[in-house]
Amino acid sequence: MRVNREIRASQVRVISQTGEQIGVVTIQEALKRAEEEGLDLVEIVPGATPPVCKIIDYGKYRYDQTKRERPEKELKTAETNNVRRDVQQGHPFCIAPSHRRNCNTIVTFSSILFTQL
């Protein structure tokens, strides 16, 4: 994803931060508009003719992207830690495998994972 001066096209189709289409303008004019708003010009669709760029806060955009990926990983780790803690404390629990395909291989793999807890 190209940002600001990394964009190589001479003309781009610009979309504002609110989603309003500004139109096809030169790269210099698009960069000027982005700088006036204190935001970044980000190339969204580089393969289009002309390339589509959006005026957004690139730092915030990248933060939101990593934030979306993070919860899934943390949730899986938390669940594993909770099961491990319950087993060590002697609490009863039930595991319901949800395997649909290739059951023999997956059940064997699940039993290996369970013994590792």
pLDDT at position 42, please? 92
Output 71 or 20, whichever has higher pLDDT. Answer: 20
| Residue where the block lists tokens 């319950």 | 86
Per the structure, the complete domain to which residue 28 belongs is given by 4-60
Q: Is the pLDDT of residue 114 over 90?
A: no
**Is 69 among the domain residues?**
no
**Is 65 among the domain residues?**
no
Q: Is the pLDDT of residue 106 over 60?
A: no
Q: For residues 9 and 56, state if they share a domain.
A: yes
**In 3-state terms, what secondary structure has residue 86?**
helix
Residues, the chain, total? 117
**Is 71 among the domain residues?**
no
Are the beta carbons of 57 and 15 closer than 8 angstroms? no
Interval 91-104 mean pLDDT: 58
The rounded distance, in Å, linking the Cα atoms of 10 and 27 is 6
24 band by pLDDT with thresholds 50, 70 and 90 = very high
Q: For residues 49 and 16, state if they share a domain.
A: yes
Q: For residues 50 and 87, state if they share a domain.
A: no
Secondary structure element (H or E) that encloses residue 42, with its range: strand 40-45
Q: For residues 55 and 15, state if they share a domain.
A: yes
Tell how far CA 33 is from the center of its chain: 27
pLDDT at position 90, please? 74
Find the CATH number of the domain harbouring 30: 3.10.20.80
Q: For residues 52 and 8, state if they share a domain.
A: yes
**In 3-state terms, what secondary structure has residue 69?**
helix
**Is 70 among the domain residues?**
no
